[in-house]
Structure 1
Amino acid sequence: MDSVAELIAEVLADLGVGHAFGVVGSGNFQITNGLRTRGVGFVAARHEGGAASMADGYARLSGRPAVLSVHQGCGLTNAITGIGEAAKSRTPLIVLAADTAGSAVRSNFRIDQDALAVSVGAVAERVHSAASAVADVTRAYRTAVEGRRTVVLSLPLDVQAQPAPPYQRLSDPAQPEPLPSVPPFPVRPAQEAVAALAALLASAQRPVFVAGRGARSAGLEISSLAARSGALLATSAVANGLFRHDEFDLGISGGFSTPLTADLIEGADLIVGWGCALNMWTMRHGSLIGEDAVVVQVDDDHSALGAHRPISLGVLGDCAATARDVSEALPTTKPGYRTSTVSQKLAQSRWWNDTPTPDLSSDTRIDPRVLSAALDDLLPTERMVSIDSGNFMGYPAAYLRVPDEKGFCFTQAFQSVGLGLASGLGAALAQPSRLAVVATGDGGFLMGISELETAVRLGIPLVVVIYDDAAYGAEVHHFGPDADLGAVTFPDTDLAAMATGFGAKGVTVRSLDDLAEVKDWLSTPQGVLVIDAKIADDGGAWWLAEAFRGH
């Protein structure tokens, strides 16, 4: 290793980072090549914003930290929306951001990178010198992985160019390991908290568990406790699929809930949030919490407890460890909410696919619910669904069922339109054995269309479903027909032809009959299929009314 840039790449590869994504410029050329030569996979995106979302999607579904590599200044600012989404989602992501030299006070690239990172919720770190480089990089890695944070690691050009000091790989028997490589043990809850939660479960008649992002690795433990305590199981949107094979899975709690599952959650006398914020989206502004329901929250972050609503009990602890301890503390197993009547109802209408709705299809446009239900039947069971933001997003979230929590990527923490295609690409690389499906609106698709070339270039099978209403639908329905909507409505555009120009297969769908081409493609998936689905006006999606209520 001749330089600190190569040393940084060596340390990250040694620590075990997953895939890297980025757009290469002069400031990050050497470090990116350093990662590539050390076996870290790299995808060259067409825009730093796309690269950031790819890294976010990969880290969410792979179980390994991803790397984003960007040029100093403008490279970082181009990526900042994707970095903000990752940071707000607590995605373990390391951003390698080249930075101007300390003496380059007049550089056009000079910005306050640390302040920019902190402003969107990321952690700002920096490689300060050749002597501290190993410790600086290791600290950033541990913060990302053990703290579940997005870390922007600034790499000044003058420091990158310094000669690298000697370094021994962690696998070298002579390596003294100055920083422990073993992660800390999970946070165990206090005995008093375990006893209090066990007592509440023992007395509850209709408990409901709602698991969120922080519980995605604790599904088995929470399921076991639910069976012992008689609790029904639900998730926030980002943890969709966690309990998919459980008889008493309610699916997503919140705006995407079916009428039946919403009623069951509203009927709970005890709601326990596991690694879940219980925010306005998951609890429909609190309307899913019964008047007399007791609310408990379990989280390993003290600041998360009670952050969005009053709670009766806050348990500070790792979700899996807490579930195990509470299960052992329960005196007996009880049926609770898990009755034969509830089981029968769920078997009949657990999903929106089984819930009758009016068909709004016309001669030229297809009802988005009809489209989504048909796609759910056509697509293989082993799928990975990534969803962009927009008025449409409830349809794929509610209708396209996924096999487990590793089959769903939902980038909504920043509520930014246009991240879906790129995050879906990253997620696809994390789950290569599953068919990747990206659901997006026409606005979001056009915002991120540059990465369609990346998808075609990668050559992986990918389905892109565009819910095309020729508008920014959320704004159309929010402001209503009496407003001047000229700024948020557009002429009908042939998006299938655009996709064909990028090298994908484009299909326009206006009715169920048009899905025949989709069925043919799915028989032997190859390359990228873009479905331009011309959807009927839904008058404002059911979830959208919930989202805007009270705003």
Structure 2
Amino acid sequence: MIVAEAVGRTLVRLGADRAFGVVGSGNFHVTDAMVAAGARYVAARHESGAAVMADAYARVSGKLGVVTVHQGCGLTNALTGVTEAAKSRTPLVVLAADTPAADLRSNFRVDQDALAHAVGARAERVHGADTAVADTVRACRLAVSGRRTVVLNLPIDVQSRQVPEPLPEPDPLRLHRPAPAPEAVAELARLLGQSRRPVFIAGRGALPRPCAEEAEERSAADALRELGAATGALLATSAVARGLFHGDPWSLDVSGGFSSPLAAELISEANLVVGWGCALNKWTTRHGSLIAADASLVQVDVEAEAIGAHRPVDLGIVGDTAATASAVTALLAGDERSPARGQLQNGRRGYRSPEVGARIERELAWNTVPYTDDSTGENIDPRTLSIRLDQLLPRERVLAVDSGNFMGYPAMFLSVPDERGFCFTQAFQSIGLGLATAIGAALARPDRLPVAALGDGGALMGVSELETVVRLGLPMAVVVYNDRAYGAEVHHFAGDGVDLSTVTFPDTDIAALARGLGYTAVTVRGEGDLEPVAAWVDGPRSTPLLVDAKITSTEGSWWLKEAFRGH
């Protein structure tokens, strides 16, 4: 057995059931070895797309993600997707071929370790035949235990060396929860017991953990729901964790730029805000405006350096979200001397009054917020489009949203069934990743309808992966919010005498392009044009669907105005 085969087999033994990539001579053998060991290989049309697919697959499936690329140019092509995964702390192994150390003049030679470090990933290496399995296990363990993206370099000359057999059986990759300090638990219990209007904001760190034993762990969502019920806290999430509290009558949905008017009002009136695995950055807090000046701010995170990184906090707790929430609930319920327990027993509901509950039921959803329909007959208002699509598309869906001026409309008006139904690759804020995100998410949840919401700029940037959707036979709905521009820049820089020709484009018939690749495609200029969508939903969905929606774009979206505030 050669090193390439040993590395591929070890990855599969450690739980990598899929590999995404573009195969060249440098990564041919290791990819083939993964397939031979039982993994499914998914060929992308571009390495960045492959990296994004692997990232999304890991997020939605909860499994270790693997992307396999050629040396040099294969890795540089993948870098935007790798950067997104690294900034999102996705447990992902980038299996990158590398040039031999002695081949100093190779056309493919670049400093791959430096590339990994530059984008926030961890660089590891397969050093030789005797260490090949151990090197692979180390990279995977780093990816899972640290929620890190790891570039595992596999030099060409090392790949062909003979490995001692039999291969050792690697131990399973399991992530243990760090427990919070008892004094920190007591202080949070005290604050919650005294608070009249507490709000929880759960972030990426509250999402289901990678490579977790489902039967052995309690979800963070359940732990936070129980603590919220005990303390009267309202429940919200950052954008990336949307869906975590779906169906809960006390859920405010998303905190930040995507907050509905009612959610923003209730969060800004809280006198205690607790971030659970949440960065509490400018997007989630609207540049801090959602945190009242007299509110206490608490942050719970598994990493000490994350606490207070974006906003000063009154209490920081290093600990796992589920473990910390459960410990606080237990203390409140079991400590007879706790003033918090006494206050709760006296019947205080915290923020959960009947009046607040009625307002949440009546006013929270974006589709209940009044607006003036800007549809013209030639172009459809993106709010009208999104509301109608939400009605037409099955509720059991997994939604992926690209970046751009349009993104708030599908992100907020299209409902999702849970946290596994929303995949938001926005940590690097690159356009062009949405379609590949939807492919990875679709493969992770084949029981749900995959929906890709893209701008025209992002759709054309990632256009090569339209073919991948057809080739894989995915019954995907691709919705293009087509304003014939890079809308974010148009609305940010628009003004008297400003030349916008660099960010505006002629109309493109994206529907025609999709038909040529095998899609059912429809051009939408008004609600009446959506009837073919209903027909496609009814079945048999034997081809993917693309909706080229010509949207109005008279002004920047509400979230964009907020995002650019102060710039």
Report the TM-score range of the alignment, normalised by the length of the smaller protein: over 0.9
Partner of 2:174: 183
Partner of 1:154: 153
Equivalent residue pairs, number: 542
**In the alignment, is the contact (CA less than 8 A) between 2:141 and 2:173 conserved in 1?**
no
What is the distance in 2 between the residues matched to 1:336 and 1:538? 42
Partner of 2:563: 547
Q: Equivalent residues in 2 for 1:228-267 (5 A)?
A: 228-267=230-269
The one-letter amino acid of 2:6's match is L
1:484 aligned residue (499, 520, 525): 499
Bigger mean CA deviation after superposition, 10-19 or 56-65: 10-19
Partner of 2:202: 211
1:536 equivalenced with 2:552 (yes/no): yes
**In the alignment, is the contact (CA less than 8 A) between 1:369 and 1:395 conserved in 2?**
yes
**In the alignment, is the contact (CA less than 8 A) between 2:133 and 2:167 conserved in 1?**
no
What is the distance in 2 between the residues matched to 1:311 and 1:4? 49
Q: Structure 2: 5+ residue runs without aligned partners?
A: 209-219, 333-340
What is the CA distance between 1:134 and its match in structure 2? 1.0
What is the distance in 1 between the residues matched to 2:27 and 2:58? 21
Q: Equivalent residues in 2 for 1:329-408 (5 A)?
A: 329-330=331-332, 331=341, 332=344, 334-408=348-422
What is the CA distance between 1:181 and its match in structure 2? 3.3
What is the distance in 2 between the residues matched to 1:461 and 1:432? 9
What is the distance in 2 between the residues matched to 1:510 and 1:478? 25
What is the CA distance between 1:544 and its match in structure 2? 0.1
TM-score for the superposition, normalised by structure 2: 0.95
1:436 aligned residue (444, 450, 455): 450
What is the distance in 2 between the residues matched to 1:92 and 1:18? 14
What is the distance in 1 between the residues matched to 2:535 and 2:279? 42
Partner of 1:271: 273
**In the alignment, is the contact (CA less than 8 A) between 1:189 and 1:317 conserved in 2?**
yes
| Secondary structure of 1:285's aligned partner | coil
Partner of 1:192: 183
What is the CA distance between 1:169 and its match in structure 2? 5.2
What is the CA distance between 1:363 and its match in structure 2? 1.4
What is the CA distance between 1:460 and its match in structure 2? 1.4
What is the distance in 2 between the residues matched to 1:448 and 1:496? 15
**In the alignment, is the contact (CA less than 8 A) between 1:100 and 1:157 conserved in 2?**
yes
The one-letter amino acid of 1:45's match is A
Q: Map Cα deviations across residues 127-159 of structure 1 (whole Å, 9 max, x no partner).
A: 011111111100000111111111000000011
The one-letter amino acid of 2:544's match is V
Q: Structure 1: 5+ residue runs without aligned partners?
A: 171-176
Partner of 2:58: 59
What is the distance in 1 between the residues matched to 2:557 and 2:200? 26
Partner of 2:337: none
1:318 aligned residue (311, 317, 320): 320
What is the distance in 2 between the residues matched to 1:32 and 1:274? 38
Bigger mean CA deviation after superposition, 11-20 or 441-450: 11-20
What is the CA distance between 1:329 and its match in structure 2? 1.4
What is the CA distance between 1:537 and its match in structure 2? 1.2
Q: Map Cα deviations across residues 211-247 of structure 1 (whole Å, 9 max, x no partner).
A: 0000013111011101111000000000000001110
Cα RMSD over matched residues?
0.9
1:446 equivalenced with 2:460 (yes/no): yes
> Sequence identity, in percent?
59
1:223 aligned residue (218, 222, 225): 225
**In the alignment, is the contact (CA less than 8 A) between 1:17 and 1:65 conserved in 2?**
yes
**In the alignment, is the contact (CA less than 8 A) between 2:20 and 2:44 conserved in 1?**
yes
The one-letter amino acid of 2:238's match is S
Q: Map Cα deviations across residues 314-348 of structure 1 (whole Å, 9 max, x no partner).
A: 00000000000001112236410011101110111
**In the alignment, is the contact (CA less than 8 A) between 1:14 and 1:169 conserved in 2?**
no
Partner of 1:35: 34
The one-letter amino acid of 2:253's match is G
What is the CA distance between 1:182 and its match in structure 2? 5.7
| Secondary structure of 1:20's aligned partner | strand
| Secondary structure of 1:423's aligned partner | helix
Q: Map Cα deviations across residues 101-149 of structure 1 (whole Å, 9 max, x no partner).
A: 0110110100000000110011100001111111110000011111111
Partner of 1:307: 309
What is the CA distance between 1:168 and its match in structure 2? 3.5
What is the distance in 2 between the residues matched to 1:379 and 1:405? 18
Q: Map Cα deviations across residues 483-502 of structure 1 (whole Å, 9 max, x no partner).
A: 21001000111110011011
The one-letter amino acid of 1:547's match is A
Partner of 2:511: 496
**In the alignment, is the contact (CA less than 8 A) between 1:20 and 1:69 conserved in 2?**
yes
Q: Map Cα deviations across residues 453-480 of structure 1 (whole Å, 9 max, x no partner).
A: 0000000110000000000000000001
The one-letter amino acid of 1:247's match is P
The one-letter amino acid of 2:452's match is V
What is the distance in 1 between the residues matched to 2:542 and 2:398? 16
Partner of 1:173: none
What is the CA distance between 1:437 and its match in structure 2? 0.1
**In the alignment, is the contact (CA less than 8 A) between 2:144 and 2:175 conserved in 1?**
no
| Secondary structure of 2:477's aligned partner | strand
| Secondary structure of 2:287's aligned partner | helix
What is the distance in 2 between the residues matched to 1:231 and 1:250? 11
TM-score for the superposition, normalised by structure 1: 0.97
| Secondary structure of 1:496's aligned partner | helix
